[in-house]
Amino acid sequence: MSVLSVRDLEVTYKTQAGPIPAVRGVSLDIDPGEVLGLAGESGCGKSTVVNAILRLLPVGTTVSGEVLLNGEDVLTMKPGRLRAVRWTGASVVFQGAMHAMNPVQRIGAQLAEAIVLHGQAGEKEALVRVGDLLEQVGMPPRRLRDYPHELSGGQKQRVMIAMALACSPSLVIADEPTTALDVMVQAQVLNLLNTLQRELGLAMLFITHDLSVLVEICDRLAIMYAGRIVEEGPSTPVFETPAHPYTEALSAAFPAIGDQRFRRAPSGLGGDPPQPESVPEGCSFHPRCPLAFDECPTTVPELYEAGEHRRAACLLVPKRAQVAP
């Protein structure tokens, strides 16, 4: 059984200007011990998917579909059960650790609070567990007496990782965990997450716009554009031989060190992603797609089989299959 199974997830925000569909029919699965990377440009709906998984969306937001966490539908849980599942069934490493902690409470107390509230230990035992957690993420236990302002950005993110592990969840969601960190600290945080995932056998949903990061640590990739999954499959084939033009553009956007072609002619994707309230008809990517043809503005592509364990929502995929030897 999958740790997480999302089916036909749709999320529509309620605003003064009217309803805005942010996620449009997303489906994905994560098996025990598997790492799934969710990638796409800012505004494509990645963080909305995260918030929908744990029902952290604003009041008034319309959500439909199915979100099964260890076999239970999160969307139909009663409040008491939902509180119990958060942090024990699934936890989140949020982007921007600086704003995710209480600035006037010592980090040890913040970590212990989750353990005590979920009934996993008493106060004294919880503090011992906190010391162990800090060591697990590469920090000395004495730092549990520090306040958040006494920590560097990388240390704050390590504390957030420790908090995500505090109640031994079966799924950890890392939502842009290296945001606002310098390159060296980013590498340290990514290596830490990768090591902990392997050692603890965690299922993980890793979210970022950086495909080059995901291909190093993820088993599979899912690419989002305008609220939909447009390609999914094993990470290395998806990155190296994309089946969807959008994935190809994302892969090409990362320069190779020492390759003078990138210096003289930087590659990138022209135009901007559509606003959720004004997604184009047909294939939502067609206004920016260099391979668009007559059918693209009028036909919404489904996820077609694009190789072994791979699918892509592009009308060119079945055409390529027809001409393949």
**Same domain, yes or no, for 160 and 254?**
no
State the pTM of this model: 0.91
Q: What CATH number corresponds to the domain at position 260?
A: 3.40.50.300
> What whole-number distance in Å separates Cα of residue 75 and Cα of residue 208?
24
Residues 179, 292, single domain; the answer is yes
Q: Report how many domains make up the chain.
A: 2
Same domain, 180 and 47: yes
**What domain range is 118 assigned to?**
103-166
* Domain identity same for 160 and 251: no
Angle at CA 14, nearest 5°, toward 9 and 17?
A: 130
pLDDT the model gives residue 49:
96
Q: Are residues 215 and 107 part of one domain? A: no
298 and 175, same structural domain?
yes
The answer to whether residue 97 sits within a structural domain is no
Phi, psi of 180 (to 5 degrees): 70, 15
In a domain? residue 98: no
**Same domain, yes or no, for 216 and 232?**
yes
C-alpha dihedral (49, 53, 55, 59), degrees to nearest 10: 20
In a domain, 232, yes or no: yes
Shared domain for 42 and 176, answered yes or no, is yes
Whether 257 is in a domain gets the answer yes
242-253 per-position pLDDT tens digit: 999 999 998 887
Q: Is the dihedral of CA 27, 226, 75, 116 positive or negative?
A: positive
Give the pLDDT band of residue 311 (cuts 50, 70, 90).
Answer: very high
Question: pLDDT confidence of 53, banded at 50, 70, 90?
Answer: very high
User: Are 52 and 141 within one domain?
Assistant: no
Question: Coil, helix or strand for 234?
Answer: strand
Q: Residue 259 has what pLDDT? A: 58
Q: What is the DSSP secondary-structure string of 124-171?
A: HHHHHHHHHHHHHTT--GGGGG--GGGS-HHHHHHHHHHHHHTT--SE
Confidence of residue 268 (pLDDT cuts 50, 70, 90): low
Contact 186, 179 (CB under 8 A): no
Whether 20 is covered by a domain: the verdict is yes
Q: Which two tokens stand for residue 108?
A: 């040890």
Q: What is the pLDDT of residues 125-169, one digit of tens each?
A: 999 999 999 999 999 999 999 999 999 988 998 999 999 999 999
For residue 202, count CB atoms less than 10 angstroms from its CB and return exposed for 0-12, middle for 13-18, buried for 19 or more: buried
For the chain, percent of residues with pLDDT exceeding 70: 94
User: Is 247 part of any domain?
Assistant: yes
Q: Mean pLDDT over residues 271-283, rounded? A: 92
Strands 90-93 and 171-175: parallel
Distance CA 177, CA 217 (A): 13
| C-alpha distance from residue 262 to each of 192, 252, 253, 312 (Å) | 31, 10, 9, 27
Q: Are residues 229 and 122 in the same domain?
A: no
The answer to whether position 194 is within a domain reads no
Tell me the mean pLDDT in the region 304-319.
94
Instruction: Give per-residue pLDDT as tens, 58-87.
Output: 999 999 999 999 999 999 999 999 999 998
Q: Among the listed ranges 69-73, 91-95, 202-206, 286-290, which one has the minimum average pLDDT value? A: 91-95
CA 240, CA 262: separation in Å to the nearest integer?
17
- The percent of residues above 90 in pLDDT, for the chain, comes to 73
In a domain, 96, yes or no: no
Residue type at 308?
E
162 & 281 share domain: no
Whether 232 and 318 share a structural domain: yes
